[in-house]
Amino acid sequence: MASYKEALEYIHGLNRFGAKLGLENITHLLDILGNPHQGVKIIHVAGTNGKGSTCAMLDSILREAGYKVGLYTSPYLEVFNERIRINGQNISDDDIARVTQKVRDAISIMLQKNLNHPTEFEVVTAIGFVYFKEQAVDFIVLEVGMGGRLDATNVALPLVSVITPISFDHQQYLGNTLGDISREKCGIIKPGVPVVSGPQEQEALQVIRKTCIELGCPLTLVAGKHVDFDIRAEQLIKYTSLQNSVSGQIFNVYTPKNDYKNLKINLLGDHQLENAATAVGAIEALELSGIKIPRKAIYSGLEKARWPGRLEILREKPIVLIDGAHNIAGIKMLKKAILKYFPQKRKILVLGILGDKDYRNMIGEIAPIADEIITTAPDNPRALSAKALAEAVKESCASIDGKKIRVSEKNEIREAVDLALDLASPEDVIVFAGSLYMIGTVRTIFMRH
């Protein structure tokens, strides 16, 4: 592969093969490449919301403990290289070009054997495994792309399986009930491997517990509103918030083994305490494999953890906030955070949503708290047009009593940014949300200017 640009053109050109869930392709591909995913310590993370933040915390804690850590996540915010990192550093352009060629050569062998061509996600996953193996990482923190059972990352045999809160998303692939979706997520659970779960709805929790019992997996659960009487106290992780402001959060975590007082994170939102408690539980679960992480690494790792694009404040006066909420559960968390941190401020909401998302319910949830709404379109083929989204917003806002919300539309994200800044006074808050593809562009605009 001659260049980084050619490598990305090749990778993104594979989207013509669609999203085909299954492990056959990735298994053949990795076998030709020498099975680079084997023989490395892996923490595997599935779920609907909070996967990325939890992965970032796990990565940071392990690095603070002195380990060389590979982090594999998706999608990316600003540059493709973000998806594959080692100790916080993105894979280089040259390494992407080089490793992509290696994977492409392996695919040629597959095709000679009349095997199916891998999908884009399968190829990127293979690139990540090859690079991490070359660089001899101690750990891989591995985020599931979609679902779990048939996701390309599920070739891994992890030391710990982590499941963050499960809600509705990708129903066309994963099922239309919470139970069906949970069964797909629980596909990452391997016999005897400890499982740590974030708070879950009752239907999801029942599937997780049943799977763990069947496969003989010790389960630790972060306490939420749905904990039935069958969960023993020695399986529960609890947390309490001590301080919560736009400057960060201080909290306690109580696991079956330890109490952690006055932990700090700089990530905003009540849900990040759930993610932090889940990360602590996963780190403690490593002890079952003989790996002991120093207590101080948990403290410093959580405090140093960063995960851009999630309730991230880019500037002040006016406050500019971006959030990757792209499903109904994420939008509810965003709404709760906005009302908590900025209850009295005038709110300008800029929305860009993909057309295959539950955008009408997302609008119905978030629109009532806005004073102005601007619609735009994420840079993605699946994007809902700014006009179609504006029409859906107007239909939703028509049912809001006593509050007139002005709705504008801008086809280009840059134009939406400029309009939002023109409309805002220094005391207002501008919120960009609805798609990671949209807020990634917004983040680039603000970071460059």
pLDDT digits (tens, 9 = 90+) for 410-435: 999 999 999 999 999 999 999 999 99
Q: Which of 113, 152, 119, 130 is nearest to 27 (CA)?
A: 152
Task: Classify domain 312-448 at the CATH topology level.
Answer: Protein-Tyrosine Phosphatase; Chain A (3.90.190)
Of 1.10.357.10, 2.60.220.30, 3.30.1330.180, 3.40.1190.10, the CATH number of 4-304 is 3.40.1190.10
- What token pair was written down for 214? 């069947």
Q: Distance between the two ends of the chain, CA-based, in angstroms?
A: 33
The answer to whether 158 and 152 have CB atoms below 8 angstroms apart is no
Which pLDDT band, with edges at 50, 70 and 90, does 136 fall under?
very high
Predicted pLDDT of residue 405: 85
Q: Which of 172, 198, 192, 196 is nearest to 184 (CA)?
A: 172
Q: Is the pLDDT at 172 greater than 60, yes or no?
A: no
User: What is the location of CATH 3.40.1190.10 in the chain?
Assistant: 4-304
Q: Are strands 259-265 and 248-254 parallel, antiparallel or unpaired?
A: antiparallel
Partner residues linked to 15 by β-bridges: none
Which pLDDT band, with edges at 50, 70 and 90, does 229 fall under?
very low
User: What is the location of CATH 3.90.190.20 in the chain?
Assistant: 312-448
Which pLDDT band, with edges at 50, 70 and 90, does 403 fall under?
low
Which pLDDT band, with edges at 50, 70 and 90, does 185 fall under?
very high
Interatomic CA distance for residues 151 and 147, integer angstroms:
6
Q: Sort 343 into a burial class: Cβ within 10 Å, 0-12 / 13-18 / 19+.
A: exposed
**pTM > 0.85: yes or no:** yes
CA atoms in the 13 A half-sphere facing the CB of 325: 31
